[in-house]
A and B are shown apart, each in its own frame.
Chain A
Amino acid sequence: DQQVKQNSPSLSVQEGRISILNCDYTNSMFDYFLWYKKYPAEGPTFLISISSIKDKNEDGRFTVFLNKSAKHLSLHIVPSQPGDSAVYFCAAISYNNNDMRFGAGTRLTVKP
């Protein structure tokens, strides 16, 4: 069962613009959320996370927003750079049972 969903398999944006990647989840037990970035032929690397007690976390050009009532989170990249082109995975953890679920990923392409 797909408890974490990234409904957009791909996204293309122009360099300098904002990239918004979305993620929805169904399990209300999730209380910690992460975004991973993956380049070709490399493993995913941790990007940014947010606890369920917050609704926003910012790190440089990356900001993650969490809307618990809607069970939705999003990753904003501003400004987007060509080097940001990668696949981005959303993940959710339920510390209650240490379960971690990933979304299927969104392939971001930033055009120069």
Chain B
Amino acid sequence: NAGVMQNPRHLVRRRGQEARLRCSPMKGHSHVYWYRQLPEEGLKFMVYLQKENIIDESGMPKERFSAEFPKEGPSILRIQQVVRGDSAAYFCASSRDRGNTEAFFGQGTRLTVV
């Protein structure tokens, strides 16, 4: 029973480039959460998705950031025109139900913008 898989583990992008972060939830899980961790801070909620739907994106920056969770394939967190301040660890978690507190996290993608 594979856990939540995130790739890549480490991603380096130059300012202005695009970053794509992928998250494959656990088998049987249809709910995906994305979090960002800035240095010296805890996890910050970004977006919550179900298959083909964005349920809550209150934590997403208004510009340059988008997320999707298509019917087939992994969830994608996309950051356009990255800036240095986007450098952080991005974590994905999945759960079976919305009210299910047993959300499992992936190991994260560390994005470094140079």
Contact = CB atoms under 8 A, between A and B. Distances in A.
The finding on whether chains A and B are genuine partners in a shared complex, rather than unrelated, reads: yes
Nearest to B34: A43
Contacts, number: 51
A43 B33 contact: yes
A47 B91 CA distance: 17
B37 A100 contact: yes
Give the dominant DSSP class at B's interface. Answer: strand
Contacts of A87: 101-102
A26 to B, nearest CB: 15
B35 A40 contact: no
B93 interface: yes
Nearest to B106: A102
Interface in B57-98: 59, 89, 91, 93, 98
A interface bracket (residues with beta carbon within 8 Å of B):
20 to 34
Nearest to B48: A43
Nearest to A86: B101
Contacts of B35: 43-44
Given A41-B99, A105-B102, A107-B101, A100 B107 contact: yes
Contacts of A102: 105
A23 B105 CA distance: 17
A98 B103 contact: no
A68 interface: no
Interface string A90-109: 00000000111110110100
Contact of B107 (A40, A42, A101): A101
26 contacts: A36-B42, A36-B43, A38-B101, A38-B103, A40-B100, A42-B45, A43-B33, A43-B45, A43-B48, A43-B59, A43-B103, A44-B43, A45-B42, A45-B43, A45-B45, A46-B41, A46-B43, A47-B42, A49-B42, A98-B10, A100-B37, A100-B89, A100-B107, A102-B105, A104-B104, A105-B101
Interface of B: 10, 33, 35, 37, 41-43, 45, 48, 59, 89, 91, 93, 98-105, 107-108, 110
